[in-house]
Amino acid sequence: MNNRQFDHWKPALKPGQLAESRLINAFLDGTFPINSRLPAERDLAELLGITRPTLREALQRLERDGWIEIQHGKSTRVRDFWAEGNLGVTIALAQYQHPLPYDFVAGLFGVRILLAPAYFSAAVGNEPEKVVDFLSAAESLPDTAEDFAVFDWKLHWQLTIYAGNPFFTHFMNSVRQLYEVVGVPYFSHMHTRSHSRDFYRQLLAAAENKNTDQAAILAQTVMRESAELWEQITQGSKNHE
């Protein structure tokens, strides 16, 4: 089921959330450029049509996520959120920035190359039967980009849980929206779906054999191959523009 068709069911944003959304868009489109200063609190609240207490709450959330720097006695600075932001910026970018910058998406694939071997190996070592049980559904996975995107994220998320390290799970939760944005375009190609089906079969074999080393090597190899496939896809798209 495509959840995007039900976007109009979502409740209307509260004033603070709407202000936060408008400010993030203003940072991204250059209305308030990196290292610029925001208007005075009274003026900014008036521009956004909200009260000053509501504005302060929105600004505190934006500071927490690395968008801005609030300095008492000075005007608020727009951070270089590419360099100074945290996962809160990552989550917001998946929601507000379309298309995502190529280097940003490539960075996500790079992080997977680094992290996946660790949680694949730990998951197969800790819960091989559960890994086998989860992967048993892969053979009957419908051959659609949407189904593959959902299954692939769930696989990585589930493996982080089986690995027993909450950091991995929290990271996967944080980048879920990125997976939604990147996953469908990635799996819209038959060869990427075929590549993943073969990957699921190999991981299933590693889990059945309780072979943690094989799982780690497979994770690193497949994550690198996925990054290369994404580069081919994006380059192909650019060549057709």
**118-155 pLDDT per residue, tens:** 999 999 999 999 999 999 999 999 999 999 999 999 99
Does 144 share its domain with 29?
A: no
Are the C-beta atoms of residues 113 and 227 closer than 8 Å to each other? yes
Regarding whether 159 and 86 lie in a shared domain, the answer is no
Q: Identify whether 95 is part of a domain.
A: no
pTM, entire model: 0.73
CB-CB contact of 79 with 69 (8 Å): yes
109 and 199 share a domain?
yes
131 falls within a domain: yes
pLDDT at 161 over 50: yes
| Dihedral sign for Cα atoms in the order 156, 158, 159, 165 | positive
Shared domain check, 235 and 118:
yes
CB atoms within 10 A of CB 47: 15
The pLDDT assigned to 118 comes to 97
Residue entry with tokens 């089986």: 162
97 is written with which tokens? 């920035």
**Do residues 35 and 77 touch, judged by C-beta distance below 8 A?**
yes
Claim to verify: residue 80 and residue 106 sit in the same structural domain: no
- Split at pLDDT 50, 70, 90, the class of 98 is low
Query: Measured in whole angstroms, how far is the alpha carbon of residue 126 from the centre of its chain?
Result: 26
Cis preceding linkage at 142, omega within 30? no
Per the structure, the complete domain to which residue 29 belongs is given by: 3-90
229 shares a domain with 146: yes
Residue 44 lies in a domain: yes
In a domain, 212, yes or no: yes
Per-residue model confidence as pLDDT tens digits over 57-94:
999 999 998 999 998 888 999 999 888 888 788 778 77
Categorize the per-residue pLDDT at 6 as very low, low, confident or very high, splitting at 50, 70 and 90: very low
